Structure 1
Amino acid sequence: MSHATEDLTVQSKSKSNTLNSQRNGNTLGYGYSTGGGGSGGGGSSSPEKLTVLDMILESLGLRNLTSKDIGVLIMLGFMFLLFVISVTGFFVMWFTEYYNNTMLKNLILAENSETANSWLQPDPKYDTLLKAHIFNYTNIEDFLAGRADKMHVEDLGPLTYQEHTVKDQVSFNKNHTVTFRDKKSYKLLPEKSTLREDDVVLVPNVPLLSAAVHVKRMPAFKRLLVTGTIKLFEEPLFKRLTAHEYLWGYRDKIISLESLGGGKTHFGLLKTRNGTSVDSVQLNTGEDDISKFSIITQFNGKPQLDFWQGDECNRIDGSEPSMFSPIELQTRNTVYVFLQVLCRKVPLHFEKEETIYNDIDVLRYRTPLDVFAHPSENPANECFCKNTDRCLPSGVINATKCYDDSPIFPSFPHFFSGDPVLYKDFEGIKPDADLHQTYADIHPRFGFPISGASRIQINIMLDKTPLLRNQAARLENATILPLIWIEITAGDFNDDVLHTLYVSTFGLDAIQLALKYGTLLVSVTTFSLIVASVYYLNSKREEQQLEHSKSSAELEALAGPATGNGSVVVVQVLPHSVSHAHRGEP
């Protein structure tokens, strides 16, 4: 035969060993070995040792992957990890309050925190405004003399003051509360006032009207002595004072009496507001439970009042008026504020969502119309009448025990929402919801009012005791005389404050929206990539399985007939030189 002819060496192996050898990569092509043989036959290479990656790929049915295929597999693992993270973030941002609650932790009044320091010593640019309106009795002399049918009162003002409040005598307690006293100072703002402090007004003589009640309760001998002394002063039932004297104090003879003033010498309706408050307040810092944030826990060292009859009316667990728990605002339910001027907590009902200051969303709350209603109209007010001499018509509250037994009866300005019988003897009383109802525009995320008005009117009741009987002959007993009404509002925010408010509001909202829709986008994107990668790898595996099946079929076709013991004949192609050497040819 020619030198081009190749010898064939026949080697018998079991069929199972041949197939195993093929799976382990020891054959090339269709089972033809490339190893050279000695005189006894062709040599075979040792089985390749499998790595961990090989075993993983083997279990997945993926073998002989290219670098591109491995890159796809790595990307699949990374995408799966990113998908799990993004889906977790998606559910957290869309279906929980985790983000909001995390932001709320910055509101708690933890000792030495930035929030607490700002609350204790606020920047003056956040100061509130106090607007005082005085009722001037323009024709009272004619009325008392019988020359006028009704008393005419003129609403003068406002006198507007910048009210700066800091916290004094502060103590942070271990039970997550803080105890303090308000310390207020006032600065007149003439440009925002329609009344001057030196304007003279004709107003009720509050020390005299108050003394009449106190003297009536004195022992007989002391009562006669004090009554005689007061009559020597010849104090009128109504007197002329400047607006400043009436509001911030003047030296008064009646107050100077030890038995009445207790060592005081001056009287002014707002005098006790200027300086450190005589009342101490303890409230929850929110550290243990953000829903309790700003809730008052003690007033003057007591967990409840003792002014009213019944635990419900003596409760003080309302919010401090300058801040509310955002958790409580989320439900839009009624919230309560504790007002020291009334010595009671007052409900605020959610009215609507409002937009102010160029697109800042707020929650508007208002006082209900029946907050000072007679128990026949509002049974919840029953306990505010039980410990008093009389339960007055709707519109006023008997706060005498809150003011050291002075006959003070607060109401809304101009007796708004009150029974008209209260002002039947007056001209000039004009109730108006827009001007006289209390409301608050509260930031839904931060829980502090950024707009609104707290409005209260101070009235005094006439008690026609012997001390006043002659001067008050024309007046009915128990007549409620309006004195002043005050309005506390937010200050005029400058551009710096508004910028801070915008950044705080829209910045946090933008971050929240970015996280919400960002996690949604990443979840959808990674899921799509995972599906595409799985589809690619599955196609690759099916392609390999198809090639493997084809190789097995061709191998069996080339192997020839099987031997009786199940062996197959494997044909090995030997190189030309090896074939001739085997024959002994050169």
Structure 2
Amino acid sequence: MGRKCTAGCGVCGLVLGLLGALSLTLFHLVVKFELGKLMPLKVGTFAYPYWKKAPIPVYMQFYVFDVINSDEVIETGAKPSVLERGPYTYRLEKEKVGIKYNDNNTVTYRQITWYYFERNMSVGYDNETFTNFNIPYLSVAYLVRFEYPWVQELINYALAITGENLFKVVSVHDILYGYEDPLLKFVSQDIMGLFNMSHFLDPNFGLMYKWNGSDDGVYNVYTGSDDIFRAGFIDKWNYFKTLSFWSGKYANMINGSDGEFFGPFVDSSKDMLFYSSQACRSLLVKYQYTHSIKGIDVYRYLLPADTFACPAEKPDNVGFCSPDSNHCMASGVLNVSVCRNGSSGTLSFPHFLGADPDVIHGVDGLHPNSEQHSSFIDIEPTTGLPFQMVFRFQVGIHITNNSIIKGLHNIRSLHMPIVWFNESAYIDDDLANKFKARLELPMNIVHVMQIILIIMGSLILIGSAIRWFRKYKTVENDTEEKPLFTPVSLKND
């Protein structure tokens, strides 16, 4: 009976241990099954209401660069000197509209964004003014830089009529959301109007003109209904699978997600990709380290400092040279004129972080700092949900010397920052608690059960082995002490 009990315990321990070990493999399947019910982008799932309308506040902080020596720049070609002013903070509300589900497990939508000024989070009101280069002035000069001299003289005539200068005093609100520019109005109505072409040029200008209450294009993304690993990954943007802005095939690829989902079971050894309409391209982020947000472990992914590196430093970036590889900008600066109506606009990290030293030193008052000016995403690895997003970019303009256009005679070629912004979102307590209740707690229970099964199975198996060993030793000792036969005593009758 004892031997049968020991054997039974051993088998039981072995089975429990095997179940525990097997459950390690089954764990991902169970979690995948649960995520397949909770996370697809369709009505009725846990993720849908949060995907349809951002549940947490998103803020965008703007910092403007105020040029304090504009007269010296015009008269002697002095290096511009700037003071950073900000933040001027706006609260963003985002909601997806026009949602349409397709037969190939994708969903099409537009995302509308509204901006609301937050005075208590700002250094002042957004009607405060600052001085910087006149962007419409420079954009018009940029557009005609290769035209005949008489065309450029026509622009000089327009500048004289409108009284526009190389520098402009403008409010924070107007530089962002738009104002009617005298030069653009004159060129549109009085020059292009003569040829019935006024509809080609909007007389209003703003870095985010028409963005408030609008969208950044039509998205078509996978719902994850058939494959949860593809939830949120882009199939098409503006009805195309590739971009047409850039000169290279790689640069025009639309890779990765829409930035709101990154797929479950994130592998920290692999880089992540997402598409950014602000940058007019897909962006790559690299794993840095693991830390905790509200008691939940997340992976920190950083946008590398060489994101906008020149082809000599990063050959894959050759396709971002515009119009071709013979017209590459300095390292750290992306020419976005191809997706910004032909203006001389540029995109970089704030204060030209990671850029060529000549770019940084071309303007006095810049102090790039990786802690303050880098961009990153914190991703919960099991679900692929971003718990914190911080995107920091700088909008600038490329200025070149021009011997014909008024005001540009003494100007040295340089990259000039206009404004940089910090768009950030951070998971709140309510959403973190819901995540723990619906996702983290069940997964932790399953994980604990795995460990308990393995430990119990191991202990029972070890206990059975010890009992069997002791039993075996006892039998062996009894055998050694017992004589081979019992002597019979002889009695003398």
> When the two structures are superposed, what TM-score results if normalisation uses the length of structure 2?
0.82
Tell me what 1:580 maps to. none
- The residue identity in structure 2 corresponding to 1:109 is L
Which residue is 1:301 aligned to? 239
Aligned CA distance change for structure 1 residues 254 and 300 (closer, same or farther; 3 Å): farther
The answer to whether the Cα contact below 8 Å between 2:27 and 2:446 also exists between their aligned partners in 1 is no
Equivalent in 248, 255, 260 of residue 317 of structure 1: 255
| CA distances 1:149-182 after superposition (whole Å, capped 9, x unpaired) | 4311111111111111111222211111112222
Structure 1 residue corresponding to 2:340, chosen from 377, 391, 403: 403
The letter for the 2-side match of 1:471 is: G
Deviations 1:389-437 (A, max 9, x none): 6212211012221112211111111000000111333111101000111
- Partner-residue secondary structure (3-state), 2:232: coil
Residue matched to 2:167: 238
Q: How far is 1:310 from its partner?
A: 2.6
- 1:361-380 → structure 2 map (5 Å cutoff): 361-380=297-316
CA distance in 1, matches of 2:33, 2:108: 26
CA–CA distance in structure 2, aligned partners of residues 429 and 254 of structure 1: 30
1:165 aligns with 2:94: yes
Partner of 2:273: 336
Q: 1:488 maps to what in 2?
A: 423
1:219-368 correspondence to structure 2 within 5 Å? 228-256=157-185, 257=188, 259=197, 262=200, 264-327=202-265, 329-357=266-294, 359-368=295-304
Tell me, yes or no, if structure 1 residue 508 matches structure 2 residue 437.
no
Give secondary structure in 1 for the equivalent of 2:255: coil
CA displacement 1:98-122 (0-9 Å, x = unmatched): 1321232121213554422331123
Contact 2:66 2:130 in 1 (8 A): yes
What pairs with 1:448-467 in structure 2 (closer than 5 Å)?
Answer: 448-465=385-402
Counterpart Cα distance in 2 of 1:503 and 1:112: 17
Give the conservation status (yes or no) of the 8 Å contact 1:342–1:402.
no
- Structure 2 distance, partners of 1:271, 1:505, is 41
Q: Which amino acid aligns with 1:196?
A: Y
* Contact 2:359–2:415 (CA under 8 A) maintained in structure 1: yes
Partner Cα separation in structure 1 for residue 41 and residue 67 of structure 2: 46
Take 1:420 and 1:525, find their aligned partners in 2: how far apart are those partners?
64
Partner of 2:135: 206
AA partner of residue 151 (structure 1):
P
**Residue in 1 aligned with 2:29?**
98
- C-alpha displacement of 1:496: 2.9
Distance 2:444 2:298 in 1: 17
Q: Is the 8 A contact 1:457 1:482 kept in 2?
A: yes
Identical counterparts, % of pairs: 24
Whole-angstrom distance in 2 between the partners of 1:204 and 1:456: 19
Match of 1:136 among 22, 46, 66: 66
In structure 2, C-alpha distance between the alignment counterparts of 1:230 and 1:149, rounded to whole Å: 22
Q: 1:324 to 1:261 in 2, by over 3 A?
A: farther
Contact 1:213 1:465 in 2 (8 A): no
User: How far apart are 1:313 and its partner, in Å?
Assistant: 1.3
List alignment gaps of at least 5 residues for structure 2: 190-196, 466-493
Q: For residues 217 and 274 of structure 1, do their structure 2 counterparts lie closer, same or farther at Cα, with a shift above 3 Å needed?
A: farther
In the alignment, is the contact (CA less than 8 A) between 1:135 and 1:153 conserved in 2? yes
**Structure-2 residue corresponding to 1:45:** none
**Which whole-Å deviations, capped at 9, do the CAs of 1:426-466 have from their partners, x for residues lacking one?**
11110100011111111112222222411111111124456
CA distance 1:81–1:274, shift in 2 (3 Å)? farther
| Inter-partner Cα distance in structure 1 for 2:258 and 2:60 | 17
2:20 and 2:451 in contact (8 A); partners too: no
Aligned-partner SS, 1:101: helix
Alpha-carbon deviations, 1:554-575, whole Å to 9, x = none?
xxxxxxxxxxxxxxxxxxxxxx
What one-letter code is carried by the residue in structure 1 that aligns with 2:415? I
Corresponding residue SS for 2:387 = strand
**Partner SS, residue 305 of structure 1:** coil
Q: For residues 111-150 of structure 1, what are the structure 2 equivalents within 5 Å?
A: 111=43, 113-123=45-55, 126-146=56-76, 149-150=78-79
Counterparts in 2 of 1:249 and 1:344: CA distance versus 1, 3 Å: same
Q: What is the distance in 1 between the residues matched to 2:66 and 2:274? A: 31
SS of structure 2 residue aligned to 1:490: strand
Code of the aligned partner of 2:423: I
The answer (yes or no) to whether the contact 1:254–1:261 under 8 Å persists in 2 is no
**Distance in structure 2 (CA, Å) of the matches to 1:272 and 1:309:** 28
Q: Determine helix, strand or coil for the equivalent of 2:183.
A: coil
Choose the corresponding residue for 1:517, options 433, 436, 451.
451
Q: Is the 1:136–1:203 contact (alpha carbons within 8 Å) kept by the matching residues of 2?
A: yes
SS where residue 126 of structure 2 aligns?
A: coil
CA distance in 2, matches of 1:407, 1:226: 16
Query: Following TM superposition, by how much is the alpha carbon of 1:95 offset from its aligned partner in structure 2, in angstroms?
Result: 5.7
Aligned mates of 1:426, 1:525 — CA distance in 2: 70
d(CA) in 2 for partners of 1:217, 1:175 = 47
Count residues in correspondence: 456
In the TM superposition, what is the alpha-carbon distance from 1:321 to its structure 2 partner?
1.7
TM-score by length of 1: 0.70
Matches of 1:360 and 1:151 in 2, distance apart? 46
- Take 2:363 and 2:323, find their aligned partners in 1: how far apart are those partners? 29
SS class of match (1:374): coil
**Residue 177 (1) aligns with residue 111 (2):** no
The 3 A distance-change label for structure 1 pair 144 and 155 is: same
Mean alpha-carbon deviation: is it higher for 224-233 or for 96-105? 224-233
CA distance in 2: counterparts of 1:155 and 1:137, whole angstroms:
9
Flag the 1:512–1:315 CA change in 2: closer, same or farther, 3 A.
Answer: same
Structure 1 stretch displaced more, 158-167 or 329-338: 329-338
Counterpart-to-counterpart distance in 2, 1:111 and 1:498: 21
Q: Deviations over 1:496-552 (max 9, x none)?
A: 344334545642343222332344467569989999xxxxxxxxxxxxxxxxxxxxx
Max Rg structure? 1
Offset at 1:85?
9.1
Q: Which residue of 1 aligns with 2:480?
A: none
* Cα drift, residue 86 of structure 1: 8.9
Residue matched to 2:319:
383
Note if contact 1:159-1:197 (Cα within 8 Å) is conserved in structure 2: yes
